[in-house]
C-alpha cells in the first residue's frame, strides 16, 4: 500500500454509489459515496481539483480517446483556496492489484483516499462530466447565435 494511502487522515476504502454535484456558487463541487463500512462520506472539492479528478479519470479510463477528449475540454483557472476544508489537489493511481483506482485528495496538510472499482469510477467520471461541462466540453455555459 502506498504511503500516501497509509498516511491518509481519512480512509474511506472501497467506495460505491459515488456522486458529484455543484454547489450553488459554482466554485466548488461536492463528491462522495458510501465507503467500505457502509459509511456515507462527502468532500468539498475546489473546481480546479474537480477538473484534476475528471482529467485523471479520463486518462486512466479512456486511454485511447483521452488526448482527443481532454484537448476539447476547458479547465478551471488555477487559484488558491482560502477555505480550509476544501480539497485543492487530487491524484488518481491504479490500485496495487490493478483492478481499481485509488483517489487521494489533499486538504491543506491532511489527506483522504478512497478506492473505486471500474464501474464506480466510470459513473463518477460521468457525474463530474455533467457538473463541469453541462453544455458540453466547450465550457460551463451554452451560447446561442441569432439566426437572421
Class of 3-7+15-132 in CATH: alpha beta
Q: For each of the chain's 148 residues, which pLDDT tens digit applies?
A: 567 788 888 999 999 999 999 977 778 999 999 999 899 999 999 988 999 999 899 889 988 876 666 555 555 555 555 666 899 999 999 998 888 999 999 998 899 999 999 999 999 999 999 998 876 654 445 444 444 4
15: left (phi over 0), alpha (psi -120 to 50) or beta: beta
- pTM, two decimals, is 0.80
Question: How many C-alpha atoms does 13 have within 13 Å on its Cβ side?
Answer: 7
Amino acid at each position: 500500500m502506498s504511503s500516501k494511502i497509509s498516511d491518509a487522515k481519512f480512509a474511506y476504502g472501497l467506495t460505491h454509489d459515488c456522486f458529484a454535484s455543484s454547489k450553488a456558487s459554482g466554485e466548488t463541487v461536492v463528491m462522495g459515496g458510501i465507503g467500505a463500512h457502509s459509511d456515507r462520506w462527502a468532500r468539498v472539492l475546489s473546481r480546479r481539483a474537480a477538473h484534476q479528478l475528471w482529467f485523471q479519470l479520463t486518462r486512466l479510463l479512456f486511454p485511447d480517446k483521452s488526448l482527443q477528449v481532454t484537448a476539447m475540454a476547458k479547465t478551471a483557472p488555477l487559484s488558491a483556496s482560502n477555505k480550509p476544508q476544501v480539497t485543492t489537489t487530487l491524484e488518481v493511481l491504479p490500485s496495487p492489484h490493478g483492478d481499481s483506482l485509488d483517489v487521494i485528495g489533499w486538504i491543506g496538510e491532511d489527506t483522504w483516499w478512497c478506492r473505486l472499482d471500474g464501474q464506480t469510477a466510470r459513473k463518477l467520471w460521468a457525474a463530474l462530466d455533467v457538473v463541469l461541462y453541462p453544455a458540453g466540453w466547450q465550457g460551463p455555459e451554452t451560447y446561442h447565435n441569432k439566426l437572421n
